[in-house]
Amino acid sequence: MYSLQLLEGEREQILASVQEVISKSSKNREDLIPVLQKVQAKLGYLPALAMEKISEGLNIPAADVYGLATFYNQFRLNPPGKHQVKVCLGTACYMVGGDITLESFERRMKIKEGETSADRLYSLERVACVGCCTLAPVVVVNEEVEGKVTPTRVDGIMLTFEESDKEKVSEPEMQKGEEH
């Protein structure tokens, strides 16, 4: 299975988040999906460690927790990238080239759908339908829905990402310079 290494300090963050969610739960089986949703909301994904801790905390076999996390489309086992792209492949989007859009992103990000790039800069997902069919083809870029995305627009979106990263990189460097 495709998985990325934990970052520095991430382990502690995972443990603390799971602990916080579980302490507020009634520890019923019925709480499992809401707990997974809350943990994912905090961490952005469900790392293996979090699932282990949830299994212990709710006293539910780890296989069941993993089973649920993989059964439902909402849960992701890979960390979200700094720039998250979800390509809608609902009927209306598919018909006007949603799959071509997805492929363009795959080519530009150099990852497959469902993956996160090793530097955690990009993540790419396909979604079944975001319910904005009249704007097809639709792409959700960092939680913002963008309509009528052509392959050319894909290049534009990627360029925006690259530009914003350049700015972010140069800012702290300037600050450092001032401190010295």
Partner 1 sequence: MNSMNPLDIYQRMADEAKSREEAKTEKTRILVGTATCGVAAGALKVRDEFVKGIEKKGLDAEVIEVGCMGHCYAEPMAVIAKPGFPPMCYGKLDDGLVNRLVEDYLAGDDPCYEYALAALERNDVFPTFEDFPRGVHEEKLILGQCGYIDAGDINSFLARDGYSALAKALEDEPLAVLNEVKAANLRGRGGAGFPAGDKWEACLSSSENEKYVICNADEGDPGAFMDRSILESDPHLVIEGMVLCAYAIGAQKGYLYIRAEYPRAVRHVQQAIDQARQMGLLGNAILGTKFNFDLEVFQGSGAFVCGEATALVNSMEGKMGLPESRPPRLAQKGYRGKPTILNNVKTFAYVPLIIRNGADWFKSIGTPDSPGTAVFSLVGKVVNTGLVEVPMGTTLRQLIYEVGDGLPNAKEFKAVQIGGPSGGCLPESALDVPIDFDSLHDAGAIMGSGGLVVMDQDDCMVAVARYFLEFTQHESCGKCTFCRLGTKHMLDILTDITDGKGTMESLTLLEELAEDVRDGSLCNLGRTAPNPVLTTLKYFRDEYRAHIEEGRCPALVCRDLILYYIKPPKCSKLCNVCVGSCPTEAIFTREDGLKEIDQEKCVKCDNCLKACPPEYNAIVKLSPPVLPKEKEGAVK
**DSSP 8-state secondary structure symbol assigned to residue 116:** B
**Helix, strand, or coil (residue 144):** strand
Candidates 124, 138, 149, 157: give the one binding partner 1 (CB under 8 A).
138
Instruction: State the Cα–Cα distance between residues 163 and 178, nearest whole angstrom.
Output: 23
Measured from the CB of residue 90, what is the shortest distance to partner 1 in angstroms?
3
Edge-first strand listing for the sheet containing 139-141:
122-127, 83-88, 139-141, 144-146
Q: Which is nearer to partner 1, 7 or 41 (CB)?
A: 41
Confirm or reject binding of residue 133 to partner 1 (CB under 8 A): yes
Q: If DSSP codes are grouped into helix, strand and coil, which group holds residue 83?
A: strand
From 1-9, 109-117, 122-130, 170-178, span contacting partner 1 (CB under 8 A): 122-130
Residue at 90: amino acid letter:
G
CB closer to partner 1, 48 vs 132: 132
Show the site string, 139-168: x = touches partner 1 by CB under 8 A, - = not.
------xxx--xxx--x-------------
Which segment (27-35, 49-57, 160-168, 169-177) binds partner 1 by CB under 8 A? Answer: 27-35
Using an 8 Å Cβ cutoff, are 22 and 54 in contact? yes
**Window 76-95: residues binding partner 1 (CB under 8 A):** 89-95
Q: What is the rounded (10 degree) CA torsion for 64, 66, 67, 68?
A: 90
Which run of H or of E encompasses 152? helix 151-179
Provide CB contacts within 8 A for 111, sequence distance 6+.
117, 122, 123, 124
Of 10 and 94, which CB lies nearer to partner 1 in the complex structure?
94
According to CB under 8 A, which residues from 30 to 69 bind partner 1?
30-34, 36-37, 67-68
Contact residues for partner 1, defined by CB under 8 A: 28-34, 36-37, 67-68, 71-75, 89-95, 97, 100, 103-104, 107-108, 127-136, 138, 145-147, 150-152, 155
